[in-house]
Structure 1
Amino acid sequence: MNINSKKYDTPDERRDGLFAFIWCLITGAVIMTICSRSSFLYAFNIWDDSNSYFTVGKSMLSGMVPYRDLFDQKGIFQYSIYMLASLISRTTFLGVYIIEILACTMALLAALRIMQVYLRSVSMPYILTPLFGMTVYTSRCFYWGGSAEEFLFPFIMWGMYISVKHFKENYPEPMRYKRVLAGGILAGFVFHIKFNSLGFFFAWMAMVFFADIIGAKAVKKAFVSCFVFLGGMAVTFIPGLVYFGLNNAIVDWGRVYIYENVFGYSKKLSFAERMAVIYDKMTDHIYDNKLVYLTIFIGALYFTLALVFSFIPEDKYKIVKRDIVVIPLKVVEYVNIAMLLGFLILIIFIGGVSITYYPFPINGFVVFGFVAIGYLIEGLYLKLRRSGFEDELTRQAGAVMLAVLLVAGIMAYNISPNVPYMKIAKNDLWLYHFRDYVLSSGIENPKIINENGFDAGLYTVTDTLPVCYYFQTQTVNEEHMQKVLEEQKRFTHEKIVDFVISVNRPAEGVADYDLVMQEDFIDPWDPDQTATYYLYQKKAE
């Protein structure tokens, strides 16, 4: 572990960028291969959300424009990720899987850097990184793989790194403009993937603003930093403005991505009702993600005790110093972490609606639990250190890292809720039965519409493009839902589409279509949950 109790390694001295990246890449590949249903170990990622992103992203390559030609409500960068993935494979999630590995790698690298800010040894952050990844990505809120929350997670983690590093190492000096600009760019990427995680960066910039005023007494700098941060966010709007501007779709961009998301999903609740909903949703997520929140609790308890000890004078003549097992902590560091976490939770749940995967970005705060564990292990080693043992441990660091990665992989295989789906073969999956029927129908470029649910994956496996603006049945407010259903029914009444796929209930308004296939899907995780899929084909004229 190469610990020196008299002179700790500085971050610059202990970082090997290429080695850290390769280690995180290997770790990320192991974790994503096990935990994501986009991986080659799974027959197909049948999550409807991921398939809808894939359909929109793939359609962009054919000239269709999100929000103008296809209705879906995630950010343009999310669709761009899937567009790139479709360049690798148009009918499988191979491309998504590769990008997931890269996203996981960057999140792990940020976590490693955060641990390096607090820990004293060279090896410990590397040893703990696989355990951090295992804890984060085996959670229920990781869901099936390919979510917007998963792809914005690295930007949250790097924002966290910039923030904790500044308040640990530089405060009360004001944050440098280039770091503020970087924070704004990271916030912009989050905005264009899914903006309900922006509460993190609201707190991020608020801490910079007030720290500049209170710590550095730099009032002018504090206000300039706000504009620098917003400038960083503005930079991320340039690709969208160019793309939508050239396609005369800027108004559609704002109408669907901003207006529909704000007013189409949020519930009208009083402040007290919203606080009650946040409490209820958080307790549900804590129950569903026990390992994640246990680790977060360990970190919260440890950092709280560290803050308390910072107010208690220590006998300067003590042989064993407190900082061997307790991280020296400033009040502003503690407040910063609490603010980042608090506002992230607040904005995620403020709309009064929550789905299993919404709180995934909160998993980033697991890193502080591993900081606590690592610091305590280091302290125990420092207290028990024997002559020659340090050199021996340093020589064994590589073996320890690989052993921990193996343990993390085994734990992921036994913990991840997705692993039971590995037993499903393509030949057993209704989706491939439907695909084979459609492709063998003799219809060239078949036109499909997906009713009574989100994109079930038929667009993906048949490599077809939507023909209807509402290519799937969205979960929007009641008024808008009527518009969605009317438009979908028009496509069947006018016999524009060749096939209709319906989820969980028979399609309506399909008098001119024959029910040609019907299959059930039993969820391996919850056998009581059975979904039924219906495939209709237009009658021959």
Structure 2
Amino acid sequence: MKEKTIFQELASDKKYIIILSIFTFFFLFFTSKMSPLYPINEWSDINVYFNIGKAAMEGRTLYTESFDHKGPLIFIIYGIGYLISNSTFLGVFIIELIGWLILIYTIFLTARIYLQREFSFLISLIVPAFLIKYTHTGGSAEEFILIMSVVSLYFFYRFFMDEDTTVHNPKYMFLHGILFSMVFFIKLNLVIFWVFPILGILICLLIHKEYKNLLHNILSFILGVFVIAVPICLYLYINNALTEAFNVYILLNMKYGSPLSASDTMNHTFMRTYSFFRNDIVGFIIMSIGALYFPIKHIKNKIGKVSMILCALSLFFILFSPRTFHFYYPLSFYIFIIPGLISISLFIKRYVYISYSGKLLCLFATLALLVGISSKNFFGLGGYEITRQIDPNSPEFQFSRIIETEKNPTLLNLGSGYGNSIFTICNITPNVKYFLTPNIYYNMYPQMRDEQTKYIENKEVDFIVVDNFSFNYQHFRNLQAFKENYILMDTFVNKRIVFGDEFSTYYLYRKR
């Protein structure tokens, strides 16, 4: 019997897919601040991606003329979003929506490998409720990586579900190569997700002496990697940025995320795991089931069992052991919520038969949507206002009103946080390489602060934003050229953020 294509599988479950599509749109519309419902996504990282992407699309070369230590592909994604809408996040929202539709469809298809339509539909609604806690305001690199990981997970399970599978379709390995390469050029350490399952597939082919199929799969994977890698490397090479990209994206990130001593690494991993467990006990248990119990119980291929367990353990260690850790990092591990829910559903279905009408399906989708909206609380006060008018004095809008009085203003953000969103609100294209300040210590990368000092001495930017909690605040506060060349225009005290007895305070300076 001829194998069904993914599109044929989706078409055969048309009713469920239509409802899931509508649910996904409204879910993202209300729970991602990329949505046109919100005036701005104030998250620092998102604005970094958008404005470097903007600069790249306007001719400034990545890494040599616009600096950040993230991978080049995330800037390209945001740059494409900028081409769609150059003054809002609407373009990125469209890309994000396409990604989430792929995510939800693939979750449904993955569950359908093991379950009936009704259970698969419910799992597709439940998974976003767990993800939403770590998506923050939407659009993170981890969010896009999760989408790519889920697609590969589906094909891994399809191969490993049967014990006697001897041949692997090279076109799927080609897809794995593309996804692997995309993640490598966004956040390289997360490619660990692909390592053990890919090796498991190749070992299976080798054991069964499918040498021709093995060769085809290896070549297909390499070709898939090249599809993404060659254009990016060619762009960097043509613009004489290949060396700088390697120094920043590879070497600096190795230094930035380098492990501490063995005892400190174990201590950090334990404390982060414990915190993760306390923050989401239910999710942690379900993911543990998905990462460990599911492969043992429901993956028939023995090499597949080992591969998927090693995949989960290595990804967990990569996420929770490094020197640096941010609250949204666990999002990548939430991929194992899918097999966890499948395991639980396989247990429940022994005792419960489910058959839903269209009205009941819509009701469940509506309830899942309301859960997601209430979890975000984007409609309350506290920096998550739905319109400018609710809080016109947030720092990004308060400062923007002053900056917008200048024709073609230029801006330098010496801190992080809200200052990065001013570039987006005022539609400012960065005019200097180090136009913002990622949280990188001076001893790790001294040239960033040194160059920013020169910008100030040479009065290369019209406006400067700095906050008192930034890494280099004291250096610039005491810099004589700063005092001589720039005058304080406005101050914003954020009383929601306090460290010790000091509130978070933002300052806006203008060139004299």
* Same fold by TM-score greater than 0.5: yes
Distance 1:328 1:289, change over 3 A: closer
**Which residue pairs with 2:248 in the alignment?**
256
Distance 1:329 1:204, change over 3 A: closer
In the alignment, structure 1 residue 135 sits paired with structure 2 residue 130: yes
Distance 1:233 1:501, change over 3 A: same
**Which residue pairs with 1:322 in the alignment?**
none
For 1:294-373, list aligned pairs within 5 A.
294-299=285-290, 303=294, 307=297, 329=300, 331-373=302-344
**Which residue pairs with 1:178 in the alignment?**
171
Give the letter aligned to residue 170 of structure 2: Y
- Which ranges in structure 2 are unaligned for 5 or more consecutive residues? none
For 1:418-457, list aligned pairs within 5 A.
420=380, 421-423=383-385, 425-427=387-389, 428=391, 429-440=394-405, 443-453=406-416, 455-457=419-421
**Which residue pairs with 1:531 in the alignment?**
504
Q: Are the counterparts in 1 of residues 291 and 312 from structure 2 also a CA contact under 8 Å?
A: no
Secondary structure of the corresponding residue to residue 111 of structure 1:
helix
In the alignment, structure 1 residue 289 sits paired with structure 2 residue 280: yes
Distance 1:530 1:419, change over 3 A: farther
Deviation at 1:235, TM superposition (A): 2.0
Distance 1:51 1:221, change over 3 A: same
Deviation at 1:483, TM superposition (A): 2.2
TM-score using structure 1 length: 0.83
Q: Deviations over 1:369-394 (max 9, x none)?
A: 22123323432235xxxxxxx8xx3x
Larger radius of gyration: 1
**Which residue pairs with 1:406 in the alignment?**
366
Deviation at 1:33, TM superposition (A): 2.2
Distance 1:68 1:219, change over 3 A: same
**Which residue pairs with 1:379 in the alignment?**
350
Q: Are the counterparts in 2 of residues 38 and 94 from structure 1 also a CA contact under 8 Å?
A: yes
Supply the distance in 1 between the matched residues of 2:10 and 2:411 (Cα, whole angstroms): 52
Deviation at 1:438, TM superposition (A): 1.0
Q: Are the counterparts in 1 of residues 197 and 304 from structure 2 also a CA contact under 8 Å?
A: no
Q: Are the counterparts in 2 of residues 131 and 404 from structure 1 also a CA contact under 8 Å?
A: no
**Which residue pairs with 1:126 in the alignment?**
121
Q: Among 20, 23, 30, which residue is 1:27 paired with?
A: 23
Supply the distance in 1 between the matched residues of 2:425 and 2:303 (Cα, whole angstroms): 52
Q: Are the counterparts in 1 of residues 125 and 368 from structure 2 also a CA contact under 8 Å?
A: yes
Q: Deviations over 1:88-137 (max 9, x none)?
A: 33232222222222211111111111101111x2332123311112222x
Deviation at 1:522, TM superposition (A): 4.6
Supply the distance in 2 between the matched residues of 1:56 and 1:117 (Cα, whole angstroms): 41
Distance 1:154 1:525, change over 3 A: farther
Supply the distance in 2 between the matched residues of 1:134 and 1:17 (Cα, whole angstroms): 26
Supply the distance in 2 between the matched residues of 1:169 and 1:149 (Cα, whole angstroms): 31
Distance 1:471 1:22, change over 3 A: farther
**Which residue pairs with 2:139 in the alignment?**
146
Q: Among 258, 266, 271, which residue is 1:280 paired with?
A: 271
Supply the distance in 2 between the matched residues of 1:160 and 1:188 (Cα, whole angstroms): 16
Give the letter aligned to residue 174 of structure 2: L
Q: Among 262, 266, 279, which residue is 2:257 paired with?
A: 266
Distance 1:289 1:31, change over 3 A: farther
Secondary structure of the corresponding residue to residue 457 of structure 1:
helix
**What count of residue pairs does the alignment treat as equivalent?**
492
Give the letter aligned to residue 426 of structure 1: R
Supply the distance in 2 between the matched residues of 1:52 and 1:248 (Cα, whole angstroms): 22
Q: Are the counterparts in 1 of residues 258 and 322 from structure 2 also a CA contact under 8 Å?
A: yes
Percent identity, please.
24
Give the letter aligned to residue 27 of structure 2: I
Q: Deviations over 1:296-326 (max 9, x none)?
A: 245457637x73xxxxxxxxxxxxxxxxxxx
TM-score using structure 2 length: 0.87
Deviation at 1:504, TM superposition (A): 2.8
Distance 1:244 1:302, change over 3 A: closer
**Which residue pairs with 1:164 in the alignment?**
157
Deviation at 1:201, TM superposition (A): 0.8
In the alignment, structure 1 residue 49 sits paired with structure 2 residue 49: no
Supply the distance in 2 between the matched residues of 1:529 and 1:128 (Cα, whole angstroms): 45
Give the ranges of 4+ consecutive aligned residues of structure 1 lying more than 6 Å apart after TM superposition: 9-13
Q: Are the counterparts in 1 of residues 294 and 340 from structure 2 also a CA contact under 8 Å?
A: no
Q: Among 462, 481, 488, which residue is 1:515 paired with?
A: 488
Distance 1:257 1:23, change over 3 A: farther
Supply the distance in 1 between the matched residues of 2:19 and 2:162 (Cα, whole angstroms): 25
Deviation at 1:10, TM superposition (A): 8.9
Supply the distance in 2 between the matched residues of 1:366 and 1:104 (Cα, whole angstroms): 16
Supply the distance in 1 between the matched residues of 2:4 and 2:216 (Cα, whole angstroms): 31
Q: Are the counterparts in 1 of residues 160 and 300 from structure 2 also a CA contact under 8 Å?
A: no
